[in-house]
Amino acid sequence: MKKINLFVCTLAIAGLGFTSCSDDDSSNTGNTDVEIAGTYDLREVNTQEATDFDEDGTLHINQMEESDCYNNSKVTFNADNTFTADMNGIIVNEDNGTSACAQTTVSGTWEIYAGTGANVVLRVRYEDDNGDNVVANFTKQGGKLTMYELFSEYPDRNAQGGAVYTNGDVEFIYDKR
C-alpha cells in the first residue's frame, strides 16, 4: 500500500505542473486568466534511462511509448486559480513483479510564482491521499510546460522480466488542447 501511495503522490505532483500554462501567450500582459486557464494533455513522461517496459525489444525514454497506462492524463487550470488533474500511470508490486494501470484525481490551487507571458514558473498546492499538503513548481517556456521530479521512481523491468521501480529523474511534458 505504501508503494501505491508513493506512486499516486508522484503522479499527482508530476501531472499538475505541466498543465499550467497555454501555448498562445506571446505577450507579457500578465493576464493570467487568458494565459494559464485551459486543459492540458500529458504528451511525454521522459525517464533518466530508457526502458523496455512493454518488452517488445525497443527501449524508450518516453514511457508513454512503453505503456498505454499514461493515456488520458490531463490537468485543467481554471481562471479562478483552481485546478483538477486526472493522472494515469503504472503501479508496480515489487513483491511479485506485477504491474497495473492506476488512476487518481487531485484538485487544488495554482499561482504564478515568477515571470510573465511566455515564461513563467507556476506553483501548485493540493492535499494528497495521505492528507499531506503538497507544493510543486512547474516551468513554462513558450508553449511547453515542464516539471522535473528529481530522485524519483519509474517503472522498469528486472533481468527476469518482473516489474520493478528504477530510481532516477523524470520529466513530464503537457500540451494545451
Neighbours of 57 (CB within 10 A): 6
3-class secondary-structure state, position 6 = helix
User: Can you give the pLDDT at residue 98?
Assistant: 98
Looking from the CA of 86 toward its CB, the CA atoms found within 13 Å total 10
- Confidence (pTM): 0.78
User: Can you give the pLDDT at residue 44?
Assistant: 98
User: Can you give the pLDDT at residue 101?
Assistant: 98
Q: Return d(Cα 136, Cα 148) in angstroms, integer.
A: 10
Q: Which three cell numbers stand for residue 85?
A: 488533474
User: Can you give the pLDDT at residue 30?
Assistant: 46
User: Can you give the pLDDT at residue 132?
Assistant: 94
User: Can you give the pLDDT at residue 142?
Assistant: 66
Residues 89/7, Cβ–Cβ less than 8 Å: yes
Residue segments in the chain with a per-residue pLDDT below the cut of 50: 1-34
User: Can you give the pLDDT at residue 21?
Assistant: 39
**Where are the chain's structural domains?**
2-176
Q: Which three cell numbers stand for residue 63?
A: 514511457
Report the amino acid identity of residue 32.
Answer: T
